[in-house]
Amino acid sequence: MRRRVVITGMGVITPLGHSVGELFASQVEGRTAVGPITHFDARTFPTTFASEVTGFDLAKFIPNAARYANCGVNTHFALAAGRMALAEAGLLHENGDRSRMGVYLGSGEGKEDFEALTSSTAAGTQPGERTTNIRRAVGLLMQRLSGPQEEQQEMFVPSGYLANEFALDGPFASCQTACAASSQAIGEALEMIRTGEADIMLAGGSHSMITPLGISGFNRLTALSQRNDSPQTASRPFDLTRDGFVIGEGAGLMVLEELESAKARGANILAELTGYGSTADAFRMTDPHPEGKGAIRAIADALTDAGLNATDIGYVNAHGTSTQANDAAETKGIKAVFGPHAYKVPVSSSKSMLGHLIAAAGVAELVITVTALRNGVIPPTINLETPDPECDLDYVPKHAREVRFRHALSNSFGFGGQNISLVVSEFKG
């Protein structure tokens, strides 16, 4: 029998709060975090707004914060979220052998990486001037990713700092699968525990791309909303008038633990992670398969892995980006797998309020899903005003809903065609 895996701790740093409680309360209230970009002067950009983390101070979370003064926000966010998760799990302080405790982090290019690329590709330009050579910037990035190991390590330092700060001596890994990265990290960490490679894994993601190159790059891809006259209503998943996603930033970490380990410690078990599906669209780098081909298999595989039927799922936390292609493809995917039950199960998008945290999106949404499961309250999809005939499910529009359920599905579909679906379940003995 494969080993069961439970969640014993969670921590987040998001634009809607610096704790799980703050994040979930904001979601239930239907409060948006979207506003004008303050990280740089974006007035000349096609998109001038984002979902930014505000009021964050690493020293409030890490006693020796000065040690990380030269690190980027990806690392800072991850350290704070990791400390919260380990503290809730009762694993913050080093106790004996920690060689069975590891780290798996989904991340991406940090603010410093983008600033370096911008300076090398648009030397002499002023912030806000849209003259960055995107092809050259991407080429430089690929060189770094395929270059010497010490250069690659620069991209993955947040996970290394997590391991060092919290004395996690077990398996150590990172992934960079764009918008699916943190969900993949959680799924792969789940497998490590199931197969006995580790007993405890700190898993999730951290990311910030709110930089001139990040914004201009997504604008060139026509992926971002340009609703500059009304930024708070710009993220509108499944609405007929949606015109792109709203970029955000943040981090989320979960403590995944083998069940018998958690029971032996007397840990408070928040939920059980029961299903994981991972597929590739094999279609295009920036567009999902129009019929939801990869999404269908990821969802179906996650249900099979969990030993559940579609009718067992009581809530779906959708990837729900607010792009035309994603929302339509995800809806098709849910209907293909769920059949008639698709019209009975509530589906909502956390991104309607939170924005898209890119590599940290999946874990933040799984944290919301776990909290919804425990509280019996499903956050809404805000800004859903004009129904799209292609998107005809119950998206919990505008207002939160009290619903008791035992199993939930969380979807993350990333650039490059990476599809991850996770099933989380109420823990029962």
Catalytic residues: 179, 319, 356
User: Do 291 and 329 contact (CB within 8 A), yes or no?
Assistant: yes
The tokens 């979370």 sit on which residue?
61
DSSP label at residue 11: E
User: Do 14 and 250 contact (CB within 8 A), yes or no?
Assistant: yes
Burial of 172 (0-12, 13-18, 19+ CB in 10 A): middle
Helical packing angle, 212-220 and 134-145, nearest 10°: 110
Where would I find the H helices in 179-258? Answer: 181-194, 212-220
Cα 150 from Cα 136, distance rounded (Å): 22
The tokens 């505000």 sit on which residue?
54
Residue of 246, 240, 244 whose CA lies nearest to 385: 240
Give the H or E element holding residue 354: helix 351-354
Question: Which residue type occupies 364?
Answer: A
